[in-house]
Structure 1
Amino acid sequence: MKTRVSLEGFAELETQLEKMTKATGRAALRRAGISALEPMARLARGLAPEETGDLIESVEVSAKAIGAAADVGKRAFAQVMRDGGTRGEAASALRSARRAANLGGAAPHVELFMGPEKAGSKDEAIKAWVQEFGSADVDPTPYMRPAWDQDKDNMLARLKEDLWFEIATAVERAQARARKTAGWE
């Protein structure tokens, strides 16, 4: 089932984000995104069947890199360790590889995750999947999709409002730093 989402006002937000440093823009996106998604996560926790207590507690919002994004820099880290480098040197190589991967594109970006965090075991991960979608033997008891359906419009409105707040705050901080540096304060 496809979902269409209409966004208005986000082009202006992107224009403002492009004026910031990538680190400042990423931090603003991360804070606003997590803040906007948390009410949806609470809704998903409330919709999850009660007999799945571990599943309810595992629904989280995070800005952790997942999938291919999580792998950026791991090869550089591992190579430094194989070559006899220290953990500090390996971490530096990892950060350098991630910085190099982020050089493309004008506006900063952040990937957020909302759902059951990676389970401690493969069985727990399968259980979370089967709970949402069902299997040949188990009827589905969806909780993530209903949370999205109920809250997507409100979440997008919260995101827009939170992003404007974060951008305005970042601009004010930058202006205050500039005044202080120029000796105006």
Structure 2
Amino acid sequence: MRIKVKVEGFKELDKALQQLTRATAKGVARRVLAKAAEPIAEAGRANAPLGPTGNLKASYGVGTKLTRRQSKLHRKESPVEVFVGPNDPAAIQTEFGNEHQAAEPHMRPAWDANKDRALEIISEELGSEIEKAAARAAKRAARLARKMGG
């Protein structure tokens, strides 16, 4: 399933992000996206039943890595991607059900309830994270200039 989101008003932030080095910009984006994904993970954790293994609630998290199987199925859409959800294999069966168990959705309701909040967090945090990264880069450049000059 693909979900496309169109946002407006981020042009200035995008220009500021492009002023940073690629690695720094990726780090900024990763931190902001992880922070924005946390409310979705918390809601998923709260919605999730214990599951057949008892690990479903505890398996919710936010990260940048997928399992080997997920990586094979995933088509990368952006230089920076952050994933949120459970890592328990039983989660799919619990979310969608099967012939032996009824569906108990936990991830979709978490997304539906928190997607707007995630976008708010991105819009609130991105500017300050860019400013912090730029300040760190300037401090590093000044330190390097002092080292080279003296």
Q: Secondary structure at the match of 1:135?
A: coil
Distance 2:86 2:51 in 1: 15
Structure-to-structure mapping, 1:59-74, within 5 angstroms: 59-64=60-65, 67-68=71-72
Instruction: Write the deviation string for residues 83-110 of structure 1: whole angstroms up to 9, x where unpaired.
Output: xxxxxxxxxxxxxxxxxxxxxxxxx821
- Which residue pairs with 1:23 in the alignment? 23
- Which residue pairs with 1:175 in the alignment? 138
Identity %: 39
Deviation at residue 69 of structure 1 after TM alignment:
9.7
CA RMSD of aligned residues (A): 2.6
Deviation at residue 4 of structure 1 after TM alignment:
5.6
Unaligned runs of 5+ in 2: none
Deviation at residue 178 of structure 1 after TM alignment:
3.0
Deviation at residue 60 of structure 1 after TM alignment:
1.0
Distance 1:111 1:3 in 2: 14
Structure-to-structure mapping, 1:88-107, within 5 angstroms: none
Aligned pair partner of 2:113 in 150, 155, 159: 150
Q: Secondary structure at the match of 1:114?
A: strand
Higher Rg of the two aligned structures: 1
Deviation at residue 14 of structure 1 after TM alignment:
2.3
Deviation at residue 116 of structure 1 after TM alignment:
1.2
In the TM superposition, structure 1's runs of 4+ consecutive aligned residues that sit over 6 Å from their partners are none
- Which residue pairs with 1:110 in the alignment? 80
TM-score (ref. length: structure 2): 0.79
Contact 2:51/2:94 (CA < 8 Å) preserved in 1?
Answer: no
Residue identity matched to 2:15? T
Answer with 10-19 or 155-164: which moved more: 10-19
Q: Is 1:129 aligned to residue 130 of structure 2?
A: no
Distance 1:68 1:18 in 2: 30
Deviation at residue 8 of structure 1 after TM alignment:
2.3
Residue identity matched to 2:71? G
Assess, with a 3 A threshold, how the Cα gap between structure 1 residues 26 and 132 changes in structure 2: closer, same or farther. same
Q: Which has the higher contact order (CA 8 A, sep 6+)?
A: 1
Deviation at residue 7 of structure 1 after TM alignment:
1.3
Distance 1:23 1:69 in 2: 26
Residue identity matched to 1:57? A
Contact 1:29/1:109 (CA < 8 Å) preserved in 2?
Answer: no
Answer with 34-43 or 145-154: which moved more: 34-43
